[in-house]
Amino acid sequence: MLYQVTFPVRYYEADPMGIVHHSEYIRYFEIARDTWLKSVGFDHKKCMEENLVFPVVSIHCDYKISAKFGQDVTVTAEITEFTGATVTFHQQVLDPHGNVCADGEVKLAFINTKLGHVVRCPESLRATFDGKY
């Protein structure tokens, strides 16, 4: 699956160079993952019921060209690896012309907030990731 969501750049996300600050792409990546999770039935309410959060283990991002205020951005999320202990997404931020602004990889783990430590992906979520890449 390749999930994508499109939204406008916000004014305060642009820096004195007039371009989106590099930290905002990291946030855009999260928005795409959260929107996708919600679309497959794993919204915030369900995560809380399952005492589940997804800490970021590592991030890599290559910055290509700059998104600007006044433009929409399209942010993609695609699962490239699922081990049971971690899930890895390939993610991109694209400008309205389809140019790649940022190209990244984000690895997440699973924490059970009741147990207070890292766990293997719970059964209820496993089906969501399995066969999705």
Of 40 and 61, CB closest to a second copy:
61
**Contacts of a second copy in 44-103 (CB under 8 A):** 44-45, 53, 55-63, 66, 69-70
By the rule CB under 8 A, 18 interacts with a second copy: yes
Of 12 and 123, CB closest to a second copy:
12
Secondary structure, 3-state, the chain: CCEEEEEECCHHHECCCCEECHHHHHHHHHHHHHHHHHHCCCCHHHHHHCCEECCEEEEEEEECCCCECCCEEEEEEEEEEECCCEEEEEEEEECCCCCEEEEEEEEEEEEECCCCEEECCCHHHHHHHCCCC
103 part of the active site = no
**Taking the complex as a whole, how short is the minimal distance between the CB of residue 73 and a second copy, in angstroms?**
14
The binder of a second copy chosen from 1, 43, 120, 126 (CB under 8 A): 43
Residues lying near a second copy in the complex (CB under 8 A) are found at: 7-8, 10-12, 14-18, 21-24, 26-27, 30-31, 34-35, 43-45, 53, 55-63, 66, 69-70, 113
